[in-house]
Amino acid sequence: GAVVSQHPSWVICKSGTSVKIECRSLDFQATTMFWYRQFPKQSLMLMATSNEGSKATYEQGVEKDKFLINHASLTLSTLTVTSAHPEDSSFYICSARDWGRGGHYEQYFGPGTRLTVT
């Protein structure tokens, strides 16, 4: 149980175009999802917290107009990188919280999306 998928796994786009990444919780409902980015040999940096039916909460320094997040249902959150530039190239990972059998929230992560902007 507690499986999170992401699509696409990898994408190459030209500078100036927009890219949408989908994150789905496959076997549970997630009122809260999270988006991270990871540069090579570095840790995961939290970009934003996505709450179903409401606006996302962005971390300091993350441009909300550039990284649009939509959490329209309990199983789907999307991240759109608008007007992408080469410096946006990164590994983007989503996660979802599941209220598990242990009586607590636990984070589960998608496989990630590797974005390359040329």
What residues line the site for another protein (CB under 8 A)?
A: 32, 34, 36, 38, 41-46, 49, 51, 57, 59, 91, 93, 95, 100, 102, 104-109, 111-112, 114
* Rounded distance between C-alpha atoms, residue 13 and residue 86, angstroms: 9
Q: Please, which residue, 36 or 67, has the CB nearer to another protein?
A: 36
Q: Please, which residue, 14 or 53, has the CB nearer to another protein?
A: 53
* Contact in structure between 33 and 71 (CB atoms under 8 Å): yes
Q: Please, which residue, 59 or 63, has the CB nearer to another protein?
A: 59
In the complex, the smallest distance separating the C-beta of residue 98 from another protein, rounded to whole angstroms, is: 10
In the complex, the smallest distance separating the C-beta of residue 26 from another protein, rounded to whole angstroms, is: 15
Q: Which residues of 49-67 are buried (b: 16+ CB within 10 A; e: fewer)?
A: bbbbeeebebeeebeeeeb
Q: How far apart are the two ends of the chain, measured CA to CA in Å?
A: 37
In the complex, the smallest distance separating the C-beta of residue 91 from another protein, rounded to whole angstroms, is: 6
Length of the chain: 118
In the complex, the smallest distance separating the C-beta of residue 63 from another protein, rounded to whole angstroms, is: 18
Question: Which element (helix H / strand E) includes 50?
Answer: strand 44-51
